[in-house]
């Protein structure tokens, strides 16, 4: 009986020692507020307003860019007599030998696909962003 008591004493001591040891639970993750909850802090409200304004600005910019791209697509697919008289204003692209419908851009010598675009049409160089607006004519 004494041996069982003596053998169980270190085991009880180990359990007591482990139960006193602090357990690290890791960093707590902040809970995300639901859409129904209202933001209480003034700083949090300001942040939320800034996010809303930024989101609205991004949506407006996307709409403007889409409208501008549609306008440019419409401008590049059709030629008007007024544009035909100004053929000397823009550089002509160089045709790629052996590849019909492909040309080298006069601005950076990169390959551009102009299949199904009539000769003499004013085309925006797709290798440049719309803000730079580099145009050339299809040979």
Q: What mean pLDDT, rounded, does the chain reach?
A: 79
Average pLDDT over residues 13-20: 74
* Stated pTM of the model: 0.38
Cα dist from 96 to 99, 104, 106, whole Å? 6, 6, 12
Binned at pLDDT 50, 70 and 90, residue 52 comes out as very high
Cβ(133)–Cβ(97) below 8 Å: no
pLDDT surpassing 80 at residue 88: no
Cross-strand pairs, 104: 94, 111
Least confident of 2-6, 21-25, 31-35, 46-50: 31-35
* 121 closest CA partner among 130, 112, 129, 108: 112
pLDDT surpassing 80 at residue 108: yes
CA distance 46 to 58: 18
């Amino acid at each position: 009986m004494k041996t069982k008591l003596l053998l169980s004493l270190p085991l009880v001591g180990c359990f007591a020692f482990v139960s006193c040891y602090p357990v690290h639970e890791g960093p707590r993750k902040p809970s995300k507020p639901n859409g129904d909850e209202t933001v209480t802090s003034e700083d949090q409200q300001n942040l939320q307003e800034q996010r809303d304004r930024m989101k609205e600005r991004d949506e407006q910019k996307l709409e403007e860019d889409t409208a501008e791209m549609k306008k440019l697509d419409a401008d590049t697919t059709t030629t008007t007599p007024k544009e035909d008289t100004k053929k000397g204003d823009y550089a002509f692209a160089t045709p790629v030998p052996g590849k019909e419908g492909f040309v080298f851009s006069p601005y950076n010598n990169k390959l551009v696909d102009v299949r199904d675009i009539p000769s003499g049409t004013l085309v925006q160089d797709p290798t440049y962003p719309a803000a730079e607006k580099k145009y050339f004519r299809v040979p």
